Amino acid sequence: MEKFTSHTGIAAPLRRSNVDTDQIIPAEYLKRITRHGFEDGLFAAWRKDPQFVLNQPEFADATILVAGPDFGTGSSREHAVWALQDYGFAVVLSSRFADIFRGNSGKGGLLAAQVDQSVIEQLWLAIEANPATQVTVDLVERQVRAEGITAPFEVDDYVRWRLLEGLDDIGITLQHADEISAFEHRRPAFAPVTIGT
């Protein structure tokens, strides 16, 4: 995983609350068995509407998504994170993220940064007034910055550390292989197995 320290780019305003993962990527796109190439499924239904924000040329190069509250609810599909990344997003800003989506983001290297809804409103106004506004999301300082706006964001300490270092979770866990084996010896005899009975 690549290290994430700070990101600056164009931000797209998504003025919707409760953006569920079925909207982020509909189930029909989940049949693929590859890890990349999900950009065409991102917000597939909404993108059929010419007025949809991502269809506006000024937001074609957006790398930061500024969304309403409760982003990423619903299905656990990690494809939602992959679709956002494949499309070109590096950061999603929202005042509240669904737990599974937030977890998936951290693992995939997409920064889900939580800010106050008032900051979301300020950003929406700023980028709608001037779509070329450069927004910086600084993971080192935990700060969102744009012209006239400086605001802190919340991100889990451990996720932040992993993103800053670009570390792979499985590698970290396997450093504790001895402890896992020791735990397995302590498990109760009645615990079920799926092979045999």
Partner 1 sequence: MGKTLAEKVWDAHVVHRAAGEPDLLYIDLHLVHEVTSPQAFDGLRASGRPVRRPDLTLATEDHNVPTIDIDKPIADPVSRAQVEALRTNCAEFGVPLYSLGDAEQGIVHVVGPQLGLTQPGMTVVCGDSHTSTHGAFGALAFGIGTSEVEHVLATQTLPLKPFKTMAITVEGELPAGVTAKDVILAVIARIGTGGGQGYVLEYRGSAIRGLSMEGRMTICNMSIEAGARAGMVAPDETTFEYLRGRAHAPTGEEWDAAVAYWSSLATDDDASFDAEVVIDAASLSPYVTWGTNPGQGLPLSADVPSPDDAADEVERVAIERALEYMGLKAGTPLRDIQVDTVFVGSCTNGRIEDLRAAAEVLKGRKVADSVRMLVVPGSARVRLQAQQEGLDRTFIAAGAEWREAGCSMCLAMNPDKLAPGERSASTSNRNFEGRQGPGGRTHLVSPAVAAATAVVGRLASPSDLTAA
| Binding footprint of partner 1 on the chain (CB under 8 A) | 15-18, 20, 22-23, 26-28, 30-35, 45, 68-70, 73-79, 81, 96, 98-100, 103-104, 107-108, 156-158, 169-170, 172-174, 176-177, 179-180, 183-184, 187-197
Q: Report the relative pairing of strands 64-67 and 149-152 from DSSP bridges.
A: unpaired
Closest CA to 15 of 142, 127, 110: 127
Q: Which two tokens stand for residue 127?
A: 């980028």
Tell the residue number behind the tokens 């070109």, with chain if given: 88
Q: Which two tokens stand for residue 176?
A: 């504790």
CB closer to partner 1, 60 vs 125: 125
CB closer to partner 1, 141 vs 156: 156
d(CA 135, CA 180): 43
CB closer to partner 1, 9 vs 26: 26
CB closer to partner 1, 10 vs 53: 53
Least CB distance to partner 1 at residue 147 (A)? 25
Q: Which two tokens stand for residue 128?
A: 């709608």
